[in-house]
Amino acid sequence: MELRALGSTGIRVSPLGLGTVKFGRNQQVKYPSSFEIPDDQSVRHILAVARDLGINLLDTAPAYGTAQQRLGRLLPGPREDWVIVSKVGEIFEHGASRFDFSHAHALASVEQSLRELNTDYLDCVLIHSDGDDLRILEQEGVLDALRELKERGLIRAHGMSSKTVAGGLRVVRDMDVVMATANLEYDEERPVLEAARRMKKGVLVKKGLMSGHVGGAEGVRASMAHVFSLPGVSSMIVGTINEGHLRQNVALADELA
Ligand code: NAP
């Protein structure tokens, strides 16, 4: 896979990124079927296959259960070979999510992510929105905290995994990267993608396979063709713990991206 610019960050990413929810969390998720969290050997194997196939981008979060600790222990190869995107703001504990977008929590959470991921920098940290994007950006301390962390060199870029068009547009104006939802059944955030392309900001697409509800190989192909036809997409993040699916997705990205 040919790497693409993540907006104007100077970071280059594979057009297909690997989502890691299923590495660490199987409660309160929206996938078609329940699943066991894979053991260390399986996670190590999926990561090695992903790397060998040309994926350099990993999407993770403190809210993905043990995913970050596991990446910290199991990620193969030199750290610089990977682009690690994490998040801040959602806390998943005792089977439920809560949110904290304060300045203090953002600093403490990113420092904890650095420890868990066993690294001294994160390539990008996204605000993990609860849906109230504009309120978070305008009234909470998290945005300033991310700016400070960037100045201190602990994170290379910042952004938001947003849920609204107004929020996504604000992210494109004020931050480096937007993570937006786009798939065959949901096109509302297209103006965000168009604005990001105009302003040369990074775009990560989430839920491009509708969290797995796309109906077989043809559905996966049609979904990926759709996402890669959208304006401004830097990378489509697809979560999988199945090696066959991973290989299929990379082959499609090679053909369609
Ligand atoms: P998704 O990527 O649309 O779908 C993932 C699901 O699709 C998994 O259940 C996976 O199952 C299945 N799948 C993957 N490849 C497949 C294939 N070739 N054939 C059939 N099924 C396939 O949805 P998502 O996990 O909700 O989102 C992707 C990533 O985006 C997440 O891992 C996460 O990193 C990120 N995300 C972020 C947010 C946020 O608010 N920031 C929200 C949602 C997601 P198998 O394991 O069986 O392959």
Catalytic site includes residue 64: yes
DSSP conformational letter for 210 = G
> If you average pLDDT over residues 60-67, what whole number do you get?
97
Which ligand 1 atom sits nearest the alpha carbon of residue 29? 26
Give the DSSP H or E segment for 254. Answer: helix 243-256
Burial of 38 (0-12, 13-18, 19+ CB in 10 A): middle
> If you average pLDDT over residues 98-107, what whole number do you get?
98
CA 26 – CA 43 distance, rounded (Å): 15
Smallest CA separation from ligand 1 atom 41, residue: 161
The pLDDT-based confidence of 77 (bands split at 50, 70, 90) is: confident
Smallest CA separation from ligand 1 atom 48, residue: 240
> If you average pLDDT over residues 100-114, what whole number do you get?
98
pLDDT digits (tens, 9 = 90+) for 5-57: 999 999 999 999 999 999 999 999 988 989 999 999 999 999 999 999 999 99
Number of residues in the chain: 257
Q: What is the DSSP string of 75-126?
A: --S-GGG-EEEEEESEEEETTEEEE---HHHHHHHHHHHHHHTT-S-EEEEE
Q: Which domain holds residue 201?
A: 4-256
Residue 155: predicted pLDDT: 98
Please tell me whether the overall predicted TM-score, pTM, comes out greater than 0.95 for this model.
yes
Mean residue pLDDT of the chain comes to 97
User: SS3 string of 117-149?
Assistant: CCCCCEEEEEEECCCCHHHHHHHCCHHHHHHHH
Question: Residue 167 above 90 pLDDT?
Answer: yes
Determine the residue of 245, 250, 254 to mutate for testing ligand 1's pocket, defined as the one with the most ligand atoms within 8 A of the Cβ atom: 245
CA 33 – CA 26 distance, rounded (Å): 10
Which ligand 1 atom sits nearest the alpha carbon of residue 242? 48
Smallest CA separation from ligand 1 atom 10, residue: 240
> How far is the CA of 143 from the CAs of 89, 99, 232, in angstroms?
11, 15, 23
Smallest CA separation from ligand 1 atom 37, residue: 206
pLDDT digits (tens, 9 = 90+) for 46-61: 999 999 999 999 999 9
CA of 128 to the centre of ligand 1 (A): 16
DSSP conformational letter for 208 = T
Residue 37: predicted pLDDT: 96
CATH code: domain of residue 182: 3.20.20.100
The number of folded domains in the chain is 1
Residue 57: predicted pLDDT: 98
Beta bridge partners of 85: 59, 124
Residues 6+ apart with CB under 8 A from 56: 3, 12, 13, 14, 81, 82, 83
